[in-house]
Structure 1
Amino acid sequence: MKSLTTLLCLLATASHAAFSDGWVLWSPRDEAKPAASTSQTGGHDGKGALILETGEGEQWIGCWTHTLPVEGGKHYQFSAWKKASTMPTARRSVYARILWQDENGKPVSWEEPAKQGYAKGTVPRAEPEYPNVPDGEPKQWIHCESTLRAPAKAKQAKIELYLQWAANARVEWSDVSFAAVPAPAPRKVRLATIHLQPKDGKNPADKPPQYAPLIAQAAQQKADLVVLGETLTYYGTGKTMAECAEPVPGPSTEYFGKLAKEHHLYIVAGLVEREGKTLYNTAALLGPDGTLVGKYRKVTLPRGEIEAGITPGHDYPVFDTRFGKVGMMVCYDGFFPEVARALTIKGAEVIAWPVWGCNPMLAAARACENHVYIVSSTYTDSRKNEWMISGIFDHYGDVLAKAEEFGTLAITEVDLNAPTHWNSLGDFKAQIQSHRPPALKE
């Protein structure tokens, strides 16, 4: 009797032929080809499904593929439903790709040269795109949807629906569509950071008012988000962190909340938080309605904070704002890739970073490796030893704006709907979910 693996390979070999509606199975190796079948009554809505299945081993790799005509320069919405069985790392095994091609099936290029990064000044090839394919619960139907712009020279789009690297796995794809849609409106946001050492006064309550004039200046320049320093009510007091601690929400968040409401913007302020007997190094996000949107408790603690009795946080919250999703990290967090990566995985498009001091190369790395905007506010004199700056870092890790002098701010405008296409890699942020390795088990 033939083994299940052999039977699956034999079935997969027969599946080279085109199925209904132009879908064809593809695999780089016959011996690693999943079994392919269709169901006329399956799928999310009972109107049909494309099925891939594997046997023993993790060598499997293959996809359903279909090529459709497109008009260069237009936007298209990829939409599909998928249901997958339990597998070790579903996000790496089940995903979709879109390849932009000319009329001969060859790759095309984008229109503009790369502004930064690798091969700056050369026009990037339109690398494969990775629509958003959420994990979801095993054996449940999950909707996948993304809007993509076709390069000007594109004449067709090749859709690929993958199953790979999972033993005894099954995925069904259904209701797959790729339709022209209106171009999405830009999501422009003005990001600002304040470069200030709040030296005046020896009491925590003396510190927040020192930021008020600069917040007003940021508002005059139409800032949407303003980032302030770390543990700002502790800076320069000569007191212990415990003596400067307060509830969050509390007096400082109430003060900054009033400024946020007055100027109709978001403010991130670094504070020492007390909850009962526990102290945290916390970043608080205040919204334009004056309320506390949320807070982040610093997860990685340097020795000085451990010795001061600070407790680490455990979560990586990401908050919805009027312009997009915002995450926060604090100072020492920047030395570790896990924090910014966790925020990005949860959807952060902007990371606010109150930071006493850090290596700016790490700020650039966190921004670059996650394709996320980072807004830092530091107490370090940026002119000395090329150390930490108060600035805004873009998806390439480059500094878009920087505050040179204490008592000033830096501000810049970005479009959160504009993808960053790297030479060789394409839109790297879209690939993180399916390409990043599994986390280490402790």
Structure 2
Amino acid sequence: MSVTAFATFRHFSRLPLVDGLPQGWRTWSPRAEVAPVFSVDSAVGRSGAGSLRIAGGGNPAMFGAWRARVSGVVGGRTYRLTAWYRSDGLAHPHHDATARLEWLDAAGTQLRLLDNALEEGHEGEWTRLSHTIDAPAGAADVHIDLGLRWSAHGTVWWDDIELVETTVTARPVRLATVHHRPKATASAAESIDSFCAVIDRHAPAGIDVLCLPEGATVVGTGKVYADVAEPVPGPTTQRLGSVAQRLRCHIVAGVYQRQGAVIYNTAVLIGRDGAIIGTYKKTHLPQNEADAGLMPGDGYPVYATDVARLGMMICWDNQFPEPARALAMNGAEVLLLPIWGGNDILARARAIENHVFLVASSYDMRCIIVDPTGAILAEATAEQPVAYADVDLARAYHQPWMGNLATSIWKERRPDL
């Protein structure tokens, strides 16, 4: 990745004043009556020579920002904003302190909603916000806004602001889902063999992640959960591991995992080498599974692979917003959903509200691959039992009415309520 410094701002107490403001900076607020108190603080600075200060001034509706206009940006090129802040008295720093980019054309017209930088790290009392994004077509200038909002008695100091031109490497991933329902099988092994035969016949080359349904070891057998429960690793993961190794892909599948007297409804994640990367134990059990003696899980692990950070949910988990949200907050970029049956609208909603890709494999629901806007990219059917979609995890999705949801949903959510 190449990086070219485009604009750097620090040592604010050394800048000459123009109309009482540091050179190159002005203040902004939606209305004069909610404007905060702006000043240059020579006593506070991450670089040791002052910072841009904003104080609430006792106004609970306050909202304002220091603003610098940077010229010479080019539409279609990629830029990264980095800004550091220190705060005092902020009830919700992640929500109240804002660093944003407003892209303008040559006439000064806003080209899209502002792009928010998100928290990326800490050093002592200072927090780093950062955002990497392509400038929209026609961009000539950009406003850097460093703000504070809705914090009557809070104060924020901004320092070490940098805008660089950079490049973003595409992150292509081939996701796949399977539509198949084994029938009249005599055992878990026969059901798994049936799935493997479908994969062998229909899976294209180059798949990175393939999702099978929930309960792949019980479907078609007529048996109960305890009959097919097995340890993990065990016969099923060994069989699926051989397929994953041969195809050089990751496989997610639903099994029933036995640990002593405990049985879980589990999704296993198998790596390209055929080894188990991790498991997820279904946290939301419907009444019939609880009454059958299954045990719920208690966590939402996310697994970093060579293509993406993967999280898993199972069937009834999809009915509730919390599992997908927890996985996304833990860093998942792709959600794998082995599901017996359910509502594909909810699956699409989980992708939208968390800005992730989602792959669902089912018996009684559409087997779909969904992008972060909820669009269905591919669907497996009886006629096409394996469907795939090529996606780019580095792609930004902009919606005209809400901007870049990859950042806005995390900046604007209210977990404090």
**Against the structure 1 CA distance between its residues 73 and 301, is the aligned structure 2 distance closer, same or farther, given a 3 Å change threshold?**
same
Letter of the 1:173 partner, please give it.
W
**Which among 154, 160, 164 is matched to residue 169 of structure 1?**
154
Residue aligning to 2:388: 411
Greater mean deviation of Cα atoms: 232-241 or 186-195: 232-241
Q: CA deviation at 1:268?
A: 0.6
**Counterpart check, 1:283 vs 2:267:** yes
- Determine the structure 2 residue equivalent to 1:432: 409
| Change over 3 Å in CA distance of 1:239–1:127 after alignment to 2 | same
For residue 191 of structure 1, report the CA deviation from its aligned partner: 0.7
Query: What residue is the counterpart of 1:52 in the other structure?
Result: 54
**Bigger shift: residues 392-401 or 201-210:** 201-210
Give how far 1:198 is off.
2.6
The TM-score, its normalising length taken from structure 1, stands at: 0.83
- Runs of 5+ consecutive residues of structure 1 not aligned to the other structure: 1-14, 109-125, 381-387
Distance in structure 2 (CA, Å) of the matches to 1:18 and 1:200:
82
Separation in 1, partners of 2:250, 2:20: 54
Partner Cα separation in structure 2 for residue 18 and residue 352 of structure 1: 56
Distance 1:85-1:412 versus aligned 2 partners, 3 A rule: same
1:27 to 22, 26, 29: 29
Gaps of 5+ in 2: 1-16
The alpha-carbon deviation at position 275 of structure 1 amounts to 2.8
Deviation per CA, 1:35-72, whole angstroms, max 9, x where unpaired? Answer: 33334564334354323233556423222221111122
Between the aligned partners of 1:31 and 1:233, the Cα distance in structure 2 is: 65
SS at match of 1:152: coil
* Alignment RMSD (CA, Å): 2.5
Deviation at 1:404, TM superposition (A): 1.7
Q: Describe the SS at the equivalent of 1:206.
A: helix
Q: 2:106 aligns with which of 98, 103, 107?
A: 103
Aligned to 2:173: 189
Equivalent of 2:132, from 147, 150, 159? 147
Q: Residues 46, 254 of structure 1: CA spacing in aligned structure 2 closer, same or farther, 3 A cutoff?
A: farther
Partner of residue 229 from structure 2, selected from 245, 248, 258: 245
Residues 83 and 138 in structure 1, CA contact (< 8 A), matched pair in contact too? no
Match of 1:394 among 360, 367, 371: 371
Aligned counterparts of 1:295 and 1:302: Cα–Cα separation in 2: 20
Specify whether residues 58 and 80 from structure 1 end up closer, same or farther in structure 2 by C-alpha distance, changes over 3 A only: same
Deviation at 1:329, TM superposition (A): 1.0
Letter in 1 for 2:151: A
Please give the per-residue CA displacement for 1:292-337, whole angstroms capped at 9, x wherever unaligned: 2222222222111111122222222222122222211111111112
Q: Is the 8 A contact 1:95 1:133 kept in 2?
A: no
215, 220, 228: which one pairs with 1:231?
Answer: 215
Question: Normalising by structure 2, what TM-score?
Answer: 0.88
Pair 1:301-2:278 in alignment = no
CA displacement at 1:432 relative to structure 2: 0.6
Q: 1:385-416 CA deviation, whole Å, 9 max, x = no partner?
A: xxx21111122322111112077111111111
Q: Of 316, 320, 343, which residue of structure 2 is paired with 1:359? A: 343
Paired-residue identity, %: 38
1:145 CA displacement: 2.4
- Paired amino acid for 1:336: F
Change (3 A) 1:346 1:55: farther
Cα distance between partner residues in 2 of 1:157 and 1:64: 13
